[in-house]
Amino acid sequence: MDTLKYKTGVLVEKFLIRGGVPLQGSVRVSGAKNSVLPILAAGLLGDSPLMVQNVPRLVDVVTMIKLIDKLGAKVRVGVENEDCQCQFDDASDPLRNEQSLEKLIDLVCSTQENAPLCLSIDASVLHNRDEGLVAPYELVKTMRASILVLGPLLARFGEAKVSLPGGCAIGSRPVDLHIKALKQMGAEIQIADGYINAKAPNGLKGARICFDQVTVTGTENILMAAALAEGETVLENAAREPEIVDLANCLRAMGAEIEGDGTALIRVKGVKSLKGTQHRVIADRIEAGTFLCAAAATRGSVILEQVDPAALDVVLLKLEDAGAIISTQGNQISLDMQGNRPKAVDILTAPHPGFPTDMQAQFMAMNSVAEGTATIVEKIFENRFMHATELNRLGAQIKINGSTATVKGVETLTGAPIMATDLRASASLVIGALAAEGQTEIHRIYHIDRGYEHIESKVRLLGGRIERLKA
């Protein structure tokens, strides 16, 4: 079984996929990437350790670990056993010893690689406090979610210096919404030399925050900041994603007073302090949807384990429209195409509970081999069709007009060299390659490694023919 190299640099590797085989079998869904990153940042709020379970083995998770360690918190890395109990290496308590953080992460990730990670974050005393609470450019530039440490640091310690995130290939993700909200809560913020310099010498104060547009990371950042702010904070036009609810559940277990998460109106009554707790991250609904689309595109059948069907309502309905037979029971979802070609389905992305933008590309891949013609309208990000050109290299018939893609299904795709474009949408290329006849090489797969845990291992469990090779 392949072992990923958990580095923050570019991995010079590729996938070799021999398609044309229906995916069949069962696979466990990993913990949610979009949940675990803000929850790890929430560890900075507590005056005792936060233990996080069901942590996926992703490059972005490693980046967040390194950032929290850089800020001075004590981090321990372990693995879950079969009974979902955490097992920590003594060498990781604390990490600051002769064995570097990166080496320890590599060690943990190279053993029991099918088991989820456990992380313990102890921010009761930040060792680097005298050096200032700085999130440096070299870490923030590789992961936009690093901005999530801003709210917790400012709320608990009254100061933070966080590098401005860099550009985003799929579209703008302005942090001005975060900054505007924190200013409303009494923060003094200046931007200089590429850094957000924030201070709240008298602490943050509750405020009524109305986001100009729905923002997931903005909602998460202000939700965490409000947990320790004086008085009540009201978030209007808040994001409603299941990952927001997961973060709120973690914060409540730490002692926060939060109501309304999962709706557009969230109320937070600030408390004086938060304690550590033990929290299990929810399943990754995007990974789950990706494997369902892969099974549909290859005319196969799949059972997903350790997943919440309710988080995938709109995706499951669209898959049923495509001709899939869907059944759910407990934490399982099963999909069966009964050997049939999928039917084309129209997609309109929207903030939750609408159709998720992170599933748009996967449905485009499925529509590429479906009966009929589908229209896909992207309403979240302005440049989210980069994968379409690569799918066309496989023989797909996709035409782009602004925010609308028209996909005319073909009987089969044909293998070709293609290139991953971003961390979530690039899974569509894996789906296209699995549905294609012949051999496909996917380059720049470091994008995929940021968003999917051991995707090649899970594909092989379902009978897919995929290898990770040096490029």
> Which amino acid appears at position 275 of this protein?
K
> What is the reported pLDDT for 383?
67
Q: Are 370 and 322 in contact (CB under 8 A)?
A: yes
Assess whether 264 and 330 both reside in one domain. Answer: no
CA 301 to chain centre: 25
The answer to whether residue 394 scores a pLDDT higher than 50 is yes
Residues noted as catalytic? 168
Domain annotation covers residue 4? no
C-alpha distances in Å from residue 10, one per residue of 29, 230, 416, 450: 25, 43, 22, 11
Domain annotation covers residue 5? no
The overall pTM is greater than 0.85: yes
| Boundary (domain end) residue, out of 280, 302, 327 | 280
Average pLDDT, the chain: 89
Burial of 187 (0-12, 13-18, 19+ CB in 10 A): buried
The count of structural domains within the chain is 2
> Which amino acid appears at position 223 of this protein?
L
C-alpha distances in Å from residue 52, one per residue of 33, 72, 364, 413, 424: 13, 18, 34, 42, 23
**H or E segment and range at residue 455:** helix 455-461
Assess whether 287 and 268 both reside in one domain. Answer: no
Instruction: List the CATH number of the domain containing 312.
Output: 3.65.10.10
Q: Are 209 and 168 in contact (CB under 8 A)?
A: no
* pLDDT-derived band at 88, boundaries 50, 70, 90: confident
Residue 351, classed as helix, strand or coil, is coil
Assess whether 382 and 452 both reside in one domain. Answer: yes
> What is the reported pLDDT for 431?
98
Assess whether 335 and 461 both reside in one domain. Answer: yes
The answer to whether residue 111 scores a pLDDT higher than 50 is yes
* pLDDT-derived band at 435, boundaries 50, 70, 90: very high
The answer to whether residue 8 scores a pLDDT higher than 70 is no
C-alpha distances in Å from residue 399, one per residue of 29, 277, 424: 33, 50, 21
| Domain residue limits at 382 | 13-30+283-470
Domain annotation covers residue 256? yes
Assess whether 357 and 393 both reside in one domain. Answer: yes
| Boundary (domain end) residue, out of 226, 248, 280 | 280
C-alpha distances in Å from residue 298, one per residue of 24, 270, 289, 430: 9, 50, 14, 11
d(CA 202, CA 184): 14
Q: Which residue has the tokens 């003594």?
A: 90
Candidate from 29-43, 134-148, 406-420 with smallest mean pLDDT: 134-148
Mean pLDDT of 333-357: 97
Domain annotation covers residue 3? no
Assess whether 260 and 300 both reside in one domain. Answer: no
d(CA 166, CA 217): 15
Assess whether 222 and 326 both reside in one domain. Answer: no
C-alpha distances in Å from residue 147, one per residue of 94, 139, 174, 196: 25, 10, 11, 10
Residue 128, classed as helix, strand or coil, is coil
Domain annotation covers residue 260? yes
With vertex at residue 169, the alpha carbon angle to CA 402 and CA 210, rounded to the nearest 5 degrees, is 80
Residue 135, classed as helix, strand or coil, is strand
Assess whether 150 and 248 both reside in one domain. Answer: yes
Q: What is the pLDDT of residues 116-128, one digit of tens each?
A: 889 999 999 786 5
Tokens representing residue 345 in the block? 């389905």
More confident residue, 39 or 164: 39
With vertex at residue 453, the alpha carbon angle to CA 56 and CA 146, rounded to the nearest 5 degrees, is 55
Assess whether 195 and 307 both reside in one domain. Answer: no
> What is the reported pLDDT for 246?
98
Round the CA-based radius of gyration of the chain to a whole number and report it.
Answer: 22
User: Please, which residues have CB within 8 angstroms of residue 103's CB and are 6 or more apart in sequence?
Assistant: none
**H or E segment and range at residue 442:** strand 439-443
* pLDDT-derived band at 107, boundaries 50, 70, 90: low
> What is the reported pLDDT for 170?
35
* pLDDT-derived band at 97, boundaries 50, 70, 90: very low
Most confident of the ranges 1-10, 69-78, 152-161: 152-161
> What is the reported pLDDT for 169?
43
Closest CA to 394 of 444, 429, 344: 429
Closest CA to 121 of 99, 93, 156: 93
Assess whether 111 and 196 both reside in one domain. Answer: yes
> What is the reported pLDDT for 3?
39
The answer to whether residue 406 scores a pLDDT higher than 80 is yes
Mean pLDDT of 341-350: 97
Domain annotation covers residue 8? no
Beta-sheet strands, E only, within 61-126: 74-80, 86-88, 117-122
Domain annotation covers residue 183? yes
d(CA 119, CA 76): 6
Residue 246, classed as helix, strand or coil, is helix
Most confident of the ranges 67-71, 188-192, 271-275: 271-275
Assess whether 238 and 183 both reside in one domain. Answer: yes
| Boundary (domain end) residue, out of 256, 280, 304 | 280
Q: What is the pLDDT of residues 221-260, one digit of tens each?
A: 999 999 999 999 999 999 999 999 999 999 999 999 999 9
Domain annotation covers residue 387? yes
Q: Is the peptide bond before 94 cis (omega within 30 degrees of 0)?
A: yes
Edge-to-edge order in the sheet of strand 257-259: 208-210, 232-236, 265-269, 257-259
d(CA 234, CA 219): 11
* pLDDT-derived band at 81, boundaries 50, 70, 90: confident
> What is the reported pLDDT for 102?
63
More confident residue, 80 or 238: 238
Q: What is the pLDDT of residues 360-378, one digit of tens each?
A: 999 999 999 999 999 999 9
Q: Which residue has the tokens 């897919």?
A: 464
Assess whether 268 and 314 both reside in one domain. Answer: no
DSSP string, 148-198: GGHHHHHHHHSEEEEEPP---TT----SHHHHHHHHHTT-EEEEETTEEEE
Q: What is the pLDDT of residues 180-226, one digit of tens each?
A: 999 999 999 998 888 999 999 899 999 999 999 999 999 999 999 99
More confident residue, 380 or 260: 260
